[in-house]
Copies of this chain bind each other. A is one copy, B any other.
């Protein structure tokens, strides 16, 4: 039970976003979301983030406390996994927003300059390009 039942939803939601509000933790979730079964070992996360073991461990603890990931000990090492596929959706939605913001800003600039957008620089093109990774 990661949260108290008596807390209002907007507070719980804020805590969820707070658990995502760090670059290293985003990197971790991106790695997990990128694997077919949404899990990975600590070693994999260590090399992906390039940070110190204890630091990674603390960030993983934050994600675990938030109920975003869960861990399983497998012999001498530990595997982490997303607790729900919708977590990956959260990341892709965030990316969609960021890309729409870039595209929107670009469109705004072009509109302000009263020039047609460059070929391959439209909002859709940006999204298409990004979809390839």
Contact = CB atoms under 8 A, between A and B. Distances in A.
Interface in A60-110: 67, 83-84, 86-87, 89-91, 93-98, 100-101, 104-105
A21 B14 CA distance: 5
11 contacts: A2-B101, A12-B98, A13-B26, A14-B20, A14-B22, A14-B26, A16-B97, A84-B100, A86-B97, A90-B90, A90-B97
Given A18-B21, A95-B13, A1 B84 contact: no
A26 B13 CA distance: 7
Q: Is the interface of A mostly helix, strand, loop or mixed?
A: helix
Contact of A87 (B30, B87, B97): B97
Contacts of A95: 9, 13
Contacts of A13: 26, 91, 94-95, 98
Contacts of A22: 14, 18
A16 B94 contact: yes
A94 B93 CA distance: 10
A8 B49 CA distance: 13
A12 B48 CA distance: 17
A58 interface: no
Given A86-B100, A94-B90, A105 B1 contact: yes
